[in-house]
Amino acid sequence: MKFGIYHLNYNLDRAALAILEKKYETEISILSFYRAWNNCKIEDDLPWLSWLLSAPKEILLTWEPWSINSEFGVLEKQPHFSLINITAGAFDTYIRAFASTLAACPKAILLRPMHEMNGSWYPWGGTVNNNTPEEFLKAWNHIRTLFFEVGASNVKWVWSPYTSSYPDTQENRICNYFPGDDQIDMIALDGYNWGASTEWSKWHSFVDLFRDGYDIVTSLSRKPVIIGEVGCTELGGEKPDWISDMFSILPSRFERIEALIWFDINKECDWRIASSASSMRIFKSRSHIFLASCASCPIK
């Protein structure tokens, strides 16, 4: 199994990465990055992409059709970025230019567009912004077609639902968003243990968090599975035990998971591995043993 990280640091060159690996005492194989479409101008992206494509590790790039500085106030309500508009070609020039830039990269790029589509917090979600799951599938296929038209064969398509659907309705089931094995190269599941950090959340073990979503996606597809985002709060339980249990249960209960990417920032909660000395200590002790034992399980 491979370990990856989102660290909110766009200067992770080889020297900086070596420092980070020394800090966590584990090899980092995948670097996770996010890019919003914002003004949909490739000129805005090029300096960042130039650096990104020279990153010293595998890249998981989450590509988000929205503006993170929305004039509408509510981020998931951005009519301009509705799925219907994407499929209708409103952003084709930008998508083609972005695809052409990625196509020039000599290595494979794991591209994760429109992730967590079964949630209600992004404007591409299937139950918000006048969208539907059917429109998600059309938009997915439209974007993918444009990439193939410009020859971006090095892009690997990562379909990435949240591990539970919000709202939890028949219309919003994970399976309703599945494009088919011929339209994806990999599946990524996201999940967070919010614990007691909010009035609506409670403590969930790693198994509680990922069991149902994992069972659904592995029944839908034979493609490789990764954890695209995971984090755990310190509030409401014992985070060191949570991390230890995660490493213990992964090989037996989640045997098809080939990589895990930790969301290593202090955002809605302090998701960081190093949110406490005890959490950091148990991660270093368990990850070193676990990842070494899984060294023969590369992403295909």
pLDDT at 292 over 80: no
Position 116, amino acid: E
Q: Which two tokens stand for residue 113?
A: 């567009």
On the CB side of 70, CA atoms within 13 Å amount to 18
Handedness of CA 254, 257, 262, 263 (dihedral sign): negative
Per-residue confidence (pLDDT) for residue 204, from 0 to 100: 97
pLDDT at 100 over 90: yes
Per-residue confidence (pLDDT) for residue 261, from 0 to 100: 97
The string of pLDDT tens digits covering residues 253-287 is: 999 999 999 999 999 999 999 999 999 999 999 98
Handedness of CA 230, 113, 154, 35 (dihedral sign): negative
Top-tier CATH class for 2-293: alpha beta
Catalytic-labelled residue, pool 58, 64, 76, 116: 116
The string of pLDDT tens digits covering residues 39-76 is: 999 999 999 999 888 888 999 999 999 998 766 567 89
Per-residue confidence (pLDDT) for residue 293, from 0 to 100: 61
Q: Distance of alpha carbon 136 from its chain centroid, rounded?
A: 17
Per-residue confidence (pLDDT) for residue 295, from 0 to 100: 52
- Of the listed ranges 8-22, 177-191, 213-227, the one predicted with least confidence: 8-22
Per-residue confidence (pLDDT) for residue 300, from 0 to 100: 42
Helix (H) / strand (E) element for 48: namely helix 42-52
Per-residue confidence (pLDDT) for residue 73, from 0 to 100: 62
Task: Examine the residue annotation and report whether 116 is marked as an active-site residue of this protein.
Answer: yes
Per-residue confidence (pLDDT) for residue 187, from 0 to 100: 98
Per-residue confidence (pLDDT) for residue 247, from 0 to 100: 95
Distance CA 216, CA 175 (A): 7
The string of pLDDT tens digits covering residues 21-36 is: 999 999 999 999 999 9
pLDDT at 12 over 80: no
Distance CA 178, CA 137 (A): 7
SS3 186: strand
Q: What is the mean pLDDT of residues 71-100?
A: 92
CB neighbours of residue 156 within 10 Å: 17
Reported confidence tier of residue 239, pLDDT bands at 50, 70, 90:
very high
pLDDT-above-90 percentage for the chain: 86
Is residue 82 a contact partner of residue 129, using CB atoms and an 8 Å limit? yes
Distance between start and end Cα atoms, the chain:
11
> 111 Cβ partners below 8 Å, 6+ apart?
61, 63, 102, 155, 156, 157, 158
Task: Examine the residue annotation and report whether 199 is marked as an active-site residue of this protein.
Answer: no
Helix (H) / strand (E) element for 23: namely helix 14-24
Q: Average pLDDT, whole number, for the chain?
A: 93
Q: What is the mean pLDDT of residues 8-31?
A: 87
